[in-house]
Structures are given as C-alpha cells and as structure tokens.
Structure 1
C-alpha cells in the first residue's frame, strides 16, 4: 500500500547542483505536483529547528543535495538515510596568501601558520573539514604533510545557522564565505588559508591574493576530493522505503535537468550564478567553461569510492561519531526501476 503524502521537505546547497537547476527550471515542482505532492524548502524555513535539518538530516520525508560532510556525519550518528545519487562538479580549490608573506610555493609553507576555521560545537564543522582536506591534498603534491606547517585556528563565534540571521546580512540570504579567513590574513594572524568555489575565487580577487597552489582540476581525483567534490543526494529512510516512486521521480527529473544543461551552456552558467550568489564571470573562473557537462548524477563505482575516500578522511580526522560501510548506505533501486521502465 502506498503511503499517502501531500508534502515533502527538500534542501540544496547554494552551489552548482542539478537539483538547483531542476528547481529553477520548474521541473522539480512540476514532477512532484503531478504526484499530488508539494515541496517545502528546509533551508528557507523561518524555523531554525527546521533549517537544522539541512545539516543533520533529521526531518522525515525529505531529500538533500549538496556538500557531503553533513550527510556523512548524519549517517555516522545513526541517521537512517539513503545515498541515492552523486554529482561531481569540479571547482576552484586553492591555498592563498598575501603578497607580503613571501610564500610563493607549497615548499614555502613549511613552518608557516596555516589558518583553519573553527566554529562552535553543534553542527559538524564542515568548513574546518574542507580546509584541512584542501591542505592535506596541496601538501601531498610536494611530499609534505600537515606536521610540516603550524595549524592556527581561526575561531568563528557564530554557528553556521547564525550566519543566516540578523542585520549583518544587509538584506542578503547568507553571509559570504571566507570573511573570517580573509580578516585573519589581513591582521597577520595567519600566513595562508584555503578557499574554494565562486566565493573563494571572489575572496582571493578582493584582496589581491597570491595563489600558492590550485588543485581543483588536478588529474588525480583523490587530490580533488573534498566537501564539494563530489556532492551527494540523500533521502530519509521513510521516503526511500514507503514512497520509492517519489525517489524515482526525483532521480528522473534530475537526469532531465542534467540533459538540459548539456544543451544550454550559457543559460546553465546563468542559473549557477543565480544559485551561488555569484557573477557569471566568477562561475566561469571557478567551475570552468565545461561546467554544463558536469551536472550529471549517478552511482557509478568511482563516484561511490570518492565519497568513501572522503568519509574515511573525516573519520581519521575525528569529524565522525563512528565509521560505517559506504556500500550499505548506497540505494541503487531508483536507477534499477528507471532502467526497467526504459526497457519495457
């Protein structure tokens, strides 16, 4: 018996994702309306407790597409979710410094202070995890390790939920990323920081930074793997088990948006800019001219292995409650059902 359902919750990160594209194109709302289901946005809810589910995946009847740290952490805490899709969209990732630091190469980082963001306890500190993975990846290119640099905390007093509230937003939906890192650089408290994506490239441009290393498009995928590479689509267990038809609709409409993107590069770049709160020029610089070809979704073994690689990094660095089997998290049933219908 199909569980009656009139609405489901969803959320996405403000980054390039096919879910964001499907939402902007109207595909997402349309496909669920055809099933008599209304969509409600978690991240846009005025209720802070609702918005927390963007980071801890607590809401039943929900799905999420975006950075992988929060859903991996939620799974490690025992949250009953399913991994139903993975998207890999490469993006700018770099270690930057100020011109006066004298740092011009990764070797020059040895013995210097690398700034790592540190937020209050509560929601998993995904920005810290991201910066540390970026540093580990960068240093490995020169045979160096984290022990060769001095890790310096950049203490951030507000939780990530606080940055979505208050007059300091000046009418915008959220605070711009890397403000605290840039401030620490300018005050001389640290010598270098990690930045990524459109926000990172804008911050580097703003201060006229020196790029010590850029590795977001490195040929070795293990170097590129980070919180946004790849991004994951997850659903809660009730949605997956009691309404698999809706999960199939979700995967199918994301594929439709991905196919649309491949045929509309200019429009896709505009949609991504709107989604990210960036300019088209920043999207082009941060994601490259072929970004429209990298918004697909699937569960190919190499994609699952990439998520597993980052999951192990998070565990090794103490970001997870406990380790878990990545393959047991994967739910391929929506793809099997779609393929069966295609054959039929």
Structure 2
C-alpha cells in the first residue's frame, strides 16, 4: 500500500506533539514529503479505531502506553521512537467525610475498578486504576488482595475525538475519573483519578485527596498509562518516509523548546487538549510541566516502560509479551535531536 497521508493521533494529555499541532506546525512534516496531513480524531469511526490497534500504515501516535503495548503485543507492526514523562496528578480520591487518610487505611475497603472494555487496548481505564491502586497499596505493604474490588461501569468502545468537537460537559472526559458517581453514592470508598480532569472532578464534587502518588512514591511507583508515554510509528511509514518521521520529531522538539519559555501559553493549549478547565491544568501539572516535554529513549524510561509491560501482561491486558528494548528504534530521535531547529514560533501564531 502506498502511503499518501501522514496520520497523527494523540490522547487528551500533555504532549510536545500535541502542542506542535496546537501551534499549527505539525502539518509541515507531511507537506515536505508531498503527503496530506490528517488528524485521526477527525476521521470516520472505522479509521479512528486505529488509535487503539495502530494498523494504519501512515500513522504516528503519541498517547497512553496501554493501547500502544496492547497493539504491539497483538502484532501491530509498530516501532517505539520516543518516550516522555510528565507527572500528571495521580491520586486516590475519597468522600469528604471519609476516614481514609493514607494507603494503610485502604485495607478492607471497597475500591472502584472500571470493568473490562471491548479489548485490552480500550480497557486502559481499568489498567490505570489497577496500577494506581497497586502502587498506592504497596506504600503500606498491601496488595489488591487486601481490598474489595468493585467493578464500575465504563464505556466499552471509547472513541477518540478532537477536543474542538467536544463540549466541556461531554461524559467522554470521565475515563480518567471512573467511579465518581459510585463514590458519591457511597457504593465504593475510594477511586483512582489522574490528570487535570481528576483535579476538576475533585473540585466539582467536593472529593478529598487521600493519597497523592506524585509526592508519595518514586518514579517506579508512578508508572502507569501515561508514565512513561510512548510515541509509536507504523513500520511502513518509517521505512517509506523516514524523513517525515524525523521531521515530526523535530517539530515536537521545537514545540517542547518553545513550551519551556511560555508556561501560560502551554496551559492555554493544554486546557483544550485535556478537556479541562484552567485551574485543573495548573493544579495537575504544576509550575514545571513546560520544561519536561521533550521525548527521549534513555535507559531509565525504557526500564520504566518495561515495568508497565510486566504489569499489563500479568493482569491480562496483553496478548503476549513485548520486548521493550527490541521494540525501540532510537535512530529517528537521534537524527531529529541532532538537527532540531528549536526555532521561534512562526509569524502569526496566536496561542
């Protein structure tokens, strides 16, 4: 199949490529090679499904590692070309009157775990909650065997859509805060939430943070769907148009460099990217978000992704094992880093 379009997809999270898209610079990576540039979120439902299975030859994806690892385990011909790490307010939330104030207090309590979705890739809300609670319980020497798991309803076939097409009240945003209704109804004692939407949900519903994983544990204990976050590319695009993949990474590195100079501009873009309100973005990502968006493939991040791979395989999210080191191809990022222009914003760009 001849590739005539560079497809791009991302999750509603902080990414350098998402910022580059917001600034209007990503399309240049396709134009230089005579390719069309399209956002997967704008495609029909059948095409948009490739966000999860990565079976579209012209696709570059930056997003959660659960779908990326599940796709690779299922045989998708992808390569890992970058990893980012942005701590994004991973928290255990409880009702305002709850007596749970620490990880140890979770012993014997009911925790909300989203039900399985249509497949492992789309069951990322379940994976996030399981790993978040596992890491929290480990702080007190506990495991999932020490709590009561209550499955809560979840969208079985989540869709990817552009933030511009979503109303702020769209329930699709709640995938990062599953179980809020059950917590408010007293059916569970604690939920896992993350990111700007997690902060918004806590504020909107008067929920209390019982455990803040970002401050309570090490990077190993904060490994989850978005930490680390992979950039993956279909092998055919890498084979047929390596210069496009390199330019995509250059544009992302340029965006990360710009982000380091403009915290408020980054927050404005991320409010749209994450479907969150301004205060949620500021609370979730703090004052240093904008200085750590550039991707790498260093040994530490690869090791942390391998921790996630082990967890996902153990808990049934992967069809087989993924050799993270063999999956990674550092060459495109090495070339992009060597040639990145790190230029100022194009004339006329308004954030």
CA shift at 1:27, angstroms? 1.4
Q: Which residue of 2 aligns with 1:102?
A: 99
Q: Which residue of 2 aligns with 1:79?
A: 76
Q: Which residue of 1 aligns with 2:14?
A: 16
CA shift at 1:259, angstroms? 0.7
Distance 2:82 2:117 in 1: 30
Distance 2:333 2:144 in 1: 40
Q: 1:180-199 maps to which residues of 2 (within 5 A)?
A: 180-199=178-197
Q: Which residue of 1 aligns with 2:285?
A: 287
Assess, with a 3 A threshold, how the Cα gap between structure 1 residues 20 and 341 changes in structure 2: closer, same or farther: closer
Q: Which residue of 2 aligns with 1:304?
A: 302
- 3-state SS in 2 of match to 1:151: strand
Q: Which residue of 2 aligns with 1:323?
A: 321
Distance 1:333 1:80 in 2: 17
- 3-state SS in 1 of match to 2:26: helix
CA shift at 1:63, angstroms? 0.6
CA shift at 1:325, angstroms? 1.0
Distance 1:339 1:293 in 2: 16
Greater shift after overlay, 115-124 or 247-256?
115-124
CA shift at 1:264, angstroms? 1.5
Q: Which residue of 2 aligns with 1:155?
A: 153
Q: Which residue of 2 aligns with 1:201?
A: 199
Q: Which residue of 2 aligns with 1:28?
A: 26
Q: Does the 8 A contact of 1:164 with 1:174 survive in 2?
A: no
How many pairs does the alignment contain?
A: 335
Q: Does the 8 A contact of 2:96 with 2:207 survive in 1?
A: yes
Assess, with a 3 A threshold, how the Cα gap between structure 1 residues 157 and 82 changes in structure 2: closer, same or farther: closer
Q: Which residue of 2 aligns with 1:175?
A: 172
- Aligned-residue Cα RMSD (Å) equals 2.2
Q: Does the 8 A contact of 1:69 with 1:126 survive in 2?
A: yes
Which of 117, 123, 140 is the aligned partner of 1:120?
117
Distance 2:216 2:106 in 1: 20
The answer on 1:337 being equivalent to 2:335 is yes
Q: Does the 8 A contact of 2:220 with 2:304 survive in 1?
A: yes
Distance 2:167 2:256 in 1: 34
Q: TM-score, normalised by structure 1?
A: 0.91
The answer on 1:49 being equivalent to 2:12 is no
Q: Deviation digits for residues 192-230 of structure 1, max 9, x if unmatched?
A: 110000111111111211211001244511111110111
Q: Deviation digits for residues 19-77 of structure 1, max 9, x if unmatched?
A: 110011111112322332221111221x2111111111111111100111101000011
CA shift at 1:101, angstroms? 3.3
Q: TM-score, normalised by structure 2?
A: 0.89
Q: Deviation digits for residues 103-125 of structure 1, max 9, x if unmatched?
A: 22222211111010114333530
Distance 2:197 2:338 in 1: 41
Distance 1:336 1:157 in 2: 39
Q: Does the 8 A contact of 1:12 with 1:66 survive in 2?
A: yes
- 3-state SS in 2 of match to 1:247: helix
Q: Which ranges in structure 2 are unaligned for 5 or more consecutive residues?
A: 341-351
Q: Deviation digits for residues 210-252 of structure 1, max 9, x if unmatched?
A: 2110012445111111101111100001011121111111111
Q: Which residue of 1 aligns with 2:56?
A: 59
Q: Does the 8 A contact of 2:168 with 2:275 survive in 1?
A: no
Q: Which ranges in structure 1 are unaligned for 5 or more consecutive residues?
A: none
Q: Does the 8 A contact of 1:124 with 1:319 survive in 2?
A: no
Q: Which residue of 2 aligns with 1:220?
A: 218
Q: Does the 8 A contact of 2:111 with 2:148 survive in 1?
A: yes
Which of 250, 253, 262 is the aligned partner of 1:252?
250
Q: Does the 8 A contact of 1:73 with 1:124 survive in 2?
A: no
CA shift at 1:180, angstroms? 4.8
